Every structure is written in structure tokens, then in C-alpha cells.
Amino acid sequence: MQTFIRSNLVLLSLLFFSIHLFCQIHIKIVNIETKLPVEKALIYNESNHLLGLTNIDGIITLDKNVNKIIIRVDGYLPKIEMIGKMDKTIYLFKKIKKKSDSKAVFILKKAWENNKKNNADHLNAYKFDSYVKFTLDMPSDSVRYIHNPKRKLDTLNNKLKGFLEKSMVFLGERTMLYEYDKKLGKKAIVTAYKAGGFSNPQFFNFSIAKSMINNYPEMLKPREMQGTISRLVDSVYINNRKTYVIYTYSHGKSETQFYKNLTFFVDSETYALVKLIGNNSKISNIYYEITYAPYEGIWYTEDEYMKTEILSSNFIKKINKLLPKGLHSITRLNTTATIDSHVTNFTNDISYSPKDFKGYEYVISKEVSYNADEKISALRHDSLTHREATTYNELYRISKAYKLEPKLRFLRTLTEGELELGFFNFDIYSIFSHNLYESFRYQLGGHTNYKFSKNTRIGGYIAKATRDEEVKGGADVTFFINKHQGGELSIKAETDVLPVGRTKIKYLTPKDELSAKTNNIYNGDYFSYRKVELSYQQDFLKNIDITFSFDYQRQRVNFHYKFKDYDESTWFNYVNTAIRLRYAPNVKYIESNNGKYTLQDKPPYYYFTYVKSWKLFENSTSIHRLYFSALYSFLSKLGKTEIIGNIGATFGDTPIMNSFEGNGVAKHGNSIWGRFGLKGFQSFETMKPSSFFSDRFISFQFTHHLRPLRVSEFKSLHFSILYNGLIGWMPNKDVHSHFEFDVPKDYYQEVGFEANKLLLGLVGVGVYARLGAYKVGNLDQNLSIKLTMEL
């Protein structure tokens, strides 16, 4: 019996010892100049508690739950380093060297130049499985336990500490199948998911497009490497291959912390990136650990670990200066988010057919919830810790008790301009608006959601304004008939009013739609229309969205205006066929049983519209209408630049509502303060509405947002400069009478300067000046001052 007990104790001791070793990492401290280990370096944690000293080999062993360390040793500059999952070497400086090694620069340049050749996409085809774990965590030891709590805040503090001792804030896991064919494209299928407290995977789908699977990190781009120092510090053997070790850094964030602090491991033969360890904290403090594995002449991403510091210690110190002391125990929390992924079953022994890549690149499998635990467990690289396993139970309990998932879904719809109540989503962005024709307009409407039907959507609205007597409204039915490519067949009927000459771009985001609400506040020239429309929309080639439509429409101008010899009260009849297109190469969608959702949405965008109006009825004209718009956005050291170009052309005579208006949004007024108002969206700020029309035009809008200028711990100044230009032609202006307007044939131009986000991080002020041929009178008559809104 004693032998049995003794043997079991030995086994338990060995098990405990192995688990303890598994939860530790080794940090080596090295002199960057001599490459020699630094002995007796003092290692502190974020709370400035001594963790230990390095041994004669410059090594210290730490627990993996350490997030960040501070290194201090006589004769060297102090340094702060983030810690991840891997053993790592940290280089100390006696004096910062500000010149790169030419060989190191050459190796990194070759690594970037050869990344396509070394990338897995160089193969004709491949596939692999991916396991990803997401966590959001706060250390429990950053919350001080309060004995004999006397206030509700003290009790809350102790409950939080108890929760963090046994559970993380959030834990989610996901498995995916990646497929690739050089001719057919890519496919990423979510095969299983699990999220603490949630049954809907859409709450954490944002991270799918963030993964750098088989993509080189942006920090290796030559532009990103400018201003960083690169040094060849060592050569080691990985996978029995000689590998260069290059250390890059840029100093300046503080005495102890670098903007960039990265170690690149580059294969000496192929110049392939083998491993990357370090942090890039210029924008946000993100720590990377990425390893690549060789496979038949290429290298694929095998492991990827990213840790982001949500609330840095410096930020928390600033916040605590503003908050009551009773909240400091909570705000001391250092919150970190991690994405930990592992690739397995990589193979190129596969052949595909076009149907395998039908639809969008990202898809949620219809069987995503079937045997999810088994599918996730089969691909886990490491077992869940006890604390991680407990997190699922705790979060499910809390989510159910407080009904968190419905509340989060409710908040999510609000950000999209909708209020979800049961099976119906109300449109909240259109409830209230204002223009000079209708005055105050009130509208109630929306559409059904997937709870009503996964294959059909029914929508409608009714609106009434305070100035005109017309009741407006509309109804539509949409059938989702080809979900793989976003196919939507719609039938729509509508009676409403619109400003004359304004081109309404399809495919605007809810944020853009809200921003454009200010465009018609000072516009009073509207026309009424009655319309019945049949349309079909589908995504072609994944990033090209095309809509074909056929409609019958009646139009009547609602102000003093005459077209040719027609009476002013004439209703014009049109049968229109149209094609509308958007090409957005950087937009990524994910397909689910409930439709498609946007994963990534960023410029450039290209819009094209062609409308043919047929003369089939009395009071009708035959015209062709073309419209093209492009939006570009790019970053540089000077800030963010946005460029918008528009071209339009109408062939054939048509009433003024089908011409192109200059998109002026200036308020009428005799003085600069009388014209004080709100800035528009993609508009001309010094141009009055309905003052310029054309049948053919070209416009250009340039906005440059300067890099924020920090003036205090919590305040930055956001300045922007603008330049807008418009030129247009109207060969047969004489067909329009009883209505005064100009044609911008002499080139209309304006400049502007804005100070944005001055109030509540939203409201700013801008000054705009008209220049050139249309400049009038004194300076005051050409200036406009407006409030700006950064949504």
C-alpha cells in the first residue's frame, strides 16, 4: 500500500512539474553591441515588483501570465518589453545606435521582395485547417480586495476580483477550413465556433479578416521600415537551415519603451520570413509572435499570436486623474486581448472545380453548430487551462442571467441605423429630417429581419412634413434568391419628393446616409414622383455589385419652372431601364444562413450608373444618363488623404430634375454669420443649392486630414484642408425657363480649413472660401463658416 501511495505521489509530482514547466518561458538578456549575455539584470513586472535576476547566461525563467516586464541594470538604458508565449531574446543598449547595418537592410529588403515567391499562394493549390482562440482578460491581482466593504462600489470591486480569479472577461474559439486555387481564388469556411455567453458567431467575426494567415506583416513594407534602425544581431539554425536574426527598432515613445521593437528571423537561402517576435506600438500596443513552416519550396503561416493592450498603464494613470478614488481599483486593470491561431493539415495534394469557390471568400458553414465541441477539440494545439474552461461556464451563466446577447444584438442594430424589435427593424436614421421645401419631415418605416423569414424581406415607410400637404410612402418586397452571390429580387412602389438634380448613389453605408442628411437642409427646390420598380441585385466576381432595374415613373416640378412648351404643372412620364455598379476591391463579406455581412469595408470605391429613359407615353423624353464616381483614401506620414472624382453626362433634352445639380449646400444669408450652418457630405460649402446645373460635368474634391496634434494628455487637435472644383456644360440651356441658375462653364472652385472634433469628439468648425471665376464682391461674400460633424 505504501509503495502504491509513494508511486502515485511521484507521478503527481512529475505531472505538476511538467505542467509548471509548460507554463514558463525563458527570457535572455543580451548586450546588443558585444552579443554577450547580461548577468544580474533586474526584472520587474508592471507593478514594479521584482521578479528576479538573470543568471550567468543572461536568462530568467518567468510564468507565462506575465504581460510586460521592466529591465534595469547598471550601465544600460532601462527597457520595457511585452511578453508572449515564446522564449525570446531582449537586447539592451548602453547608447542608442541610430544607424542601420547595410546587410540587415539588404536582408529585410530581399525578404519583402521575395515574399510572393515564398508565399503559399505561389503553389497552384492548397488547403489547411485553422484553429483560433480569442481572449479578453484582466489580471485579478490588479484589483485590491476590500475587507468589510461598506459601499456598493466596494462590494462590486470584490465581486469583480472574485470573478477575475476564476474566469476571463471573454473567451471564444473558432475552426476554419482554408482552400486556395491560383486560378479560382480563396475560400475560408467557418466550420465551428464557440463563444462564452453567446450563440451567435457574428459578434466576433470581425477578427476573421484581421488574421495574417499567409500574408506578410505590414511592418516589413519598405515604407513602414523608414525611420527604423535594423541590425543583424545573430545567425541561428531553424529547421536545420541557417537563419539570420535581425533586430529592428525605433526609439522615441519614452526613455524605456520603443515605438517598434521587432526581431525578424530570415532564411539565408530563400530570404523567407521564418519567425517574427516583437511589438509595434506607434498606434496601439500590439505584440506579435508569428512562425512560418517550410513546405515544398514555400513557407506558410504555422502559428500566429497577437496580443493587444486595450488600456495601457499610462492611459489608466491619466484616467484616474479624472475619476473618483473609489473607482481607481477598477481602472487599474490592464486589459489585454489576444488572438492565438494554429494551422494544421496543410497540403497541396488537392484539386478543385469552380463550384468549390462559388460565392464569397468567407462563409459560415450551415453545419457550424453541429458537433462544435468535438471539431474544436480536434484542432486545439494546447488544452484549455482550468481558468479558460471555467470562463465558458461563467459567461454562459452571466449572459443568461442578464440577457446579454439580445442586448448586444440590440446595440449592434442601433449602430447600423436600425432598431430591432422582434421580427421588424425600424429605420431610426430617417425618423426626422429638415429641408426648405417640406420644413420638418417625420417618417416611420423599416423592414422585416431574418426572424420573420430567411428568404424574404418586406419593408415600407410613411412620411409627413409640416409644410407641404403631400403624404409620402413606399413599400417593397425583396426575395433572396441567390445567397452565394447576394442575389436580391425586389419589387418596389413609392410616392415621394426629391431635390432636383441630385444624384443619389446606391450602396452608401448607414454612416454615409446619416452624414448626407445635412445636404438638403437649405434646399427648397423639389419635385414629386410616383414610381413602380422591379430590380435585381447581385455580386459579380465577389467585389463587383451590379443592379439591373426597370421602372415606370411620373415626375412633376414643385416650383416655378417651365420645360420647353409644357405647362408648369405637367406630369412627365418615364419608362427607365438602368444598370448600377459598385466595384470595391477591398471590401470583404461573409455569407451566413441569414444573408451576407460586411467583414471589411475600406476604399477605393467605384460607382457607375447608366439610365436609359424611353419615350413611350405622352409628356415623355428619350434620354441617356451616365454617372461615374470614384473615391480613394490613402495614408502617409503627413496624414490621411481622401480624393473624390465625379463625371456625369445627360444626352437628350430633359426637365431640370434629371440634370446634374452642383451639390451646393450653402445657406442663404446676407452676411457671413447669416450663412452660418452645417457642413454637407461630398458637397460644395460655398455654393447655394440649385444655383448651378449642367448636362455634363466633372467635379473633384480633395480633403487632407493632418496628423492629430496632441496638446494635452486627453486632447488632440484635428485639422483638415480641402479643395473642391467643378466644371460643367449645358448646350441647350434655353429649354429651361422661369427658373434662374448658372452653368459652371468657367470652373467653380473653393478651399477650406477645418478644426474637427473640438466638442465631444464629434463637433468642429470649418471656414470655406470661394475662389476664381465665381468670386463675388468682398471677402465676406465669398466665405462660409460651418459646423462639422465627424461621425
**For 502-523, what is each residue's pLDDT tens digit?**
877 767 777 888 888 899 999 9
Q: From residue 233, how far is each of 33, 228, 273, 406, 426 by CA, in Å? A: 9, 15, 16, 53, 61
pLDDT in tens, 184-207: 989 999 999 888 877 765 555 656
Domains in the chain: boundaries: 2-92, 102-411, 416-789
What letter does residue 343 receive in the DSSP assignment?
E
Judge contact between 612 and 582, C-beta under 8 A: no
CB neighbour class for 523 (10 Å; exposed up to 12, middle 13-18, buried from 19): buried
**In angstroms, how far is the first alpha carbon of the chain from the final one?**
74
- Which CATH architecture is the domain 416-789 placed in? Beta Barrel (2.40)
Kindly give, in sequence order, each residue whose CB lies less than 8 Å from that of residue 318, ignoring residues fewer than 6 positions away: 713, 714
Higher pLDDT, 138 or 694: 694
Q: From residue 709, how far is each of 257, 663, 766 by CA, in Å? A: 21, 32, 17
**String of DSSP letters for 355-412:** GGG-S-SEEE-TTTTTTHHHHHHHH-SSPPPHHHHHHHHHHHHHHHHHTHHHHHHHHH
Q: pLDDT value at position 593?
A: 77
Q: pLDDT value at position 397?
A: 86
Beta strands in 148-297 (DSSP E): 170-181, 185-195, 229-238, 241-251, 258-267, 273-280, 286-295
Q: pLDDT value at position 314?
A: 57
Higher pLDDT, 712 or 601: 601
- The rounded distance, in Å, linking the Cα atoms of 371 and 367 is 9
Please state the φ and ψ torsions of residue 324, each to the nearest 5 degrees: -60, 150
Nearest to 477 by CA among 533, 420, 429, 413: 533
Please state the φ and ψ torsions of residue 191, each to the nearest 5 degrees: -95, -25
pLDDT in tens, 562-573: 999 999 999 999
Task: Grade residue 15 by pLDDT with cuts at 50, 70 and 90.
Answer: very low
Judge contact between 182 and 126, C-beta under 8 A: no
Judge contact between 326 and 127, C-beta under 8 A: no
The helix (H) or strand (E) run that includes residue 106 is helix 102-113
pLDDT in tens, 608-627: 999 999 998 888 889 999 99
Judge contact between 705 and 639, C-beta under 8 A: yes
Which cell goes with 508?
452608401
Arithmetic mean of pLDDT over the chain: 87
Task: Grade residue 469 by pLDDT with cuts at 50, 70 and 90.
Answer: confident
Judge contact between 458 and 449, C-beta under 8 A: no
Task: Grade residue 40 by pLDDT with cuts at 50, 70 and 90.
Answer: very high
Report the Cα 497 to chain-centroid distance in Å: 34
Nearest to 469 by CA among 441, 504, 510: 441
Judge contact between 290 and 317, C-beta under 8 A: no
Answer yes or no: is pLDDT of 602 > 50: yes
Q: What is the dihedral of CA 653, 655, 660, 661, to 10 degrees?
A: 150
- The rounded distance, in Å, linking the Cα atoms of 257 and 314 is 12
Answer yes or no: is pLDDT of 21 > 70: no
- The rounded distance, in Å, linking the Cα atoms of 277 and 29 is 15
Q: pLDDT value at position 214?
A: 65
User: In b/e form, how buried is each residue of 571-591, taking b as 16+ CB within 10 angstroms?
Assistant: ebbbbbebebbbbbeebbbbb
Neighbour count for residue 421 (Cβ, 10 Å): 12
What percent of the chain is modeled with pLDDT above 70?
90
3-state SS assignment for residue 329: helix
Q: pLDDT value at position 7?
A: 47
Answer yes or no: is pLDDT of 778 > 80: yes
Which cell goes with 454?
430567411
- The rounded distance, in Å, linking the Cα atoms of 612 and 625 is 6
- The rounded distance, in Å, linking the Cα atoms of 315 and 334 is 10
Kindly give, in sequence order, each residue whose CB lies less than 8 Å from that of residue 522, ignoring residues fewer than 6 positions away: 435, 436, 665, 666, 667, 668, 677, 688, 689
Please state the φ and ψ torsions of residue 347, each to the nearest 5 degrees: -155, 150
415-429 mean pLDDT: 89
Judge contact between 192 and 375, C-beta under 8 A: yes
Q: pLDDT value at position 317?
A: 61
**Angle between helices 386-402 and 404-415 in degrees, nearest 10:** 80
Higher pLDDT, 696 or 510: 696
The helix (H) or strand (E) run that includes residue 493 is strand 487-499
Categorise residue 19: left if φ over 0, alpha if ψ from -120 to 50, beta otherwise: alpha
Task: Grade residue 153 by pLDDT with cuts at 50, 70 and 90.
Answer: confident
Q: pLDDT value at position 427?
A: 93
Please state the φ and ψ torsions of residue 336, each to the nearest 5 degrees: -125, 140
- The rounded distance, in Å, linking the Cα atoms of 38 and 56 is 8
What letter does residue 618 receive in the DSSP assignment?
S
722-738 mean pLDDT: 95
Which cell goes with 139?
489580471
Nearest to 505 by CA among 623, 601, 432, 609: 609
Judge contact between 678 and 666, C-beta under 8 A: no
User: In b/e form, how buried is each residue of 268-278, taking b as 16+ CB within 10 angstroms?
Assistant: eebbbbbbbbb
Strand partners, 292: 301
Nearest to 68 by CA among 19, 9, 27: 27
Kindly report the CATH class assigned to 2-92.
mainly beta
User: In b/e form, how buried is each residue of 733-763, taking b as 16+ CB within 10 angstroms?
Assistant: eebbeebebbbbeeebbbbbebebbbeeeee
pTM of the model: 0.81
Answer yes or no: is pLDDT of 678 > 90: yes
Kindly give, in sequence order, each residue whose CB lies less than 8 Å from that of residue 564, ignoring residues fewer than 6 positions away: 653, 735
> In this structure, which amino acid lies at residue 539?
D
Task: Grade residue 147 by pLDDT with cuts at 50, 70 and 90.
Answer: confident
